[in-house]
Amino acid sequence: MKYLILDVDGTLTNSKKELTDKTYNALMDIQEKGHKIVIASGRPTPGIRWIVDKLKLREYGGYVLCFNGAKVIDLKNDEIIYQNIFPRECIAPLYEYALSHDMGMITYEGDTVIHGTRADDYMRFEANLNFMELRPVDNFVDYITFDVNKCLFTAPPDKASALEEELAKMYEGKLSIYRSEEFFIEAMPLGVDKAASLDRLFNAIGVSVDDTIACGDGFNDMSMIEYAHVGVCMKNGQQAVKDVADYVTEKTNDEDGLLEVIEKFVM
């Protein structure tokens, strides 16, 4: 039995954020043969629900890593195997920083993206991408009395790089801060990455890393590509990711590049 670990955007889906029929059929076929699928994405849980449903991952006993691995779910029984909670004491100073630097700041509550700064197009993009409602809340800091897994900042690309660098220095040793898009700055609990969460998952369910194949394209996929027995970067991936991969697909995510991975390493 193989465990196929799949990033979503740029890997599993094409540039239109669609799962093609060819890739869908191949993934259903390997599940019928007893192999398992693990979705590993930076998206919040609602943003990958459609993939879970379409691939029938609950029925076949798949797994999900969302928020870049801050939450790991066993889909067969919806059990949370692991999660890393954002430190509550960091929310107020981060919110003040966002206000003073004219940045957007959001986090997630159920199926809702909540914000206490003015709404912008980047927030709308995040909400629409993940099929979530964008909702303003009063007293953003006081409103968050529940556990969250990450906060996300928005800023124009020409400003985001410098803001990311300053925030990373300010919260060194406290938070993991990096850009996932040129206009998104992620703020995560320290030590969250896909490899660390996969290791926790496989230790919990008693799976050897020798049975794993991880596929991705972006910087946040590097750790799991290095971790897995076979690490795959898509042809459309970042060069730095290709450099650490065991295999680079000959076709892109728009050309069903996952098919060759399935044929070569799973079947």
Look up residue 79 and give its two tokens.
Answer: 């059990």
Amino acid identity of residue 194, one-letter, is K
**In whole angstroms, what separates CA 46 from the centre of its chain?**
12
Mean pLDDT by runs of 10 across the 267 residues of the chain is: 96 95 98 98 93 97 95 95 95 98 97 96 96 96 96 96 96 90 92 92 97 94 96 95 97 97 95
Q: Which pLDDT does position 219 carry in this prediction?
A: 84
d(CA 185, CA 210): 34
Q: Which pLDDT does position 179 carry in this prediction?
A: 84
Classify domain 88-189 by CATH number: 3.30.1240.10
Q: Which pLDDT does position 180 carry in this prediction?
A: 79
Q: Which pLDDT does position 220 carry in this prediction?
A: 85
Q: Where are the domains of the chain?
A: 3-84+192-266, 88-189
Classify domain 3-84+192-266 by CATH number: 3.40.50.1000
pTM for the structure as a whole: 0.90
Do 3-84+192-266 and 88-189 fold alike per CATH?
A: no
The burial class, CB within 10 Å (0-12 / 13-18 / 19+), for 184 is buried
d(CA 226, CA 234): 14
Find out whether 167 and 187 touch, Cβ atoms under 8 Å.
yes
Q: Which pLDDT does position 74 carry in this prediction?
A: 97
Q: Which pLDDT does position 178 carry in this prediction?
A: 85
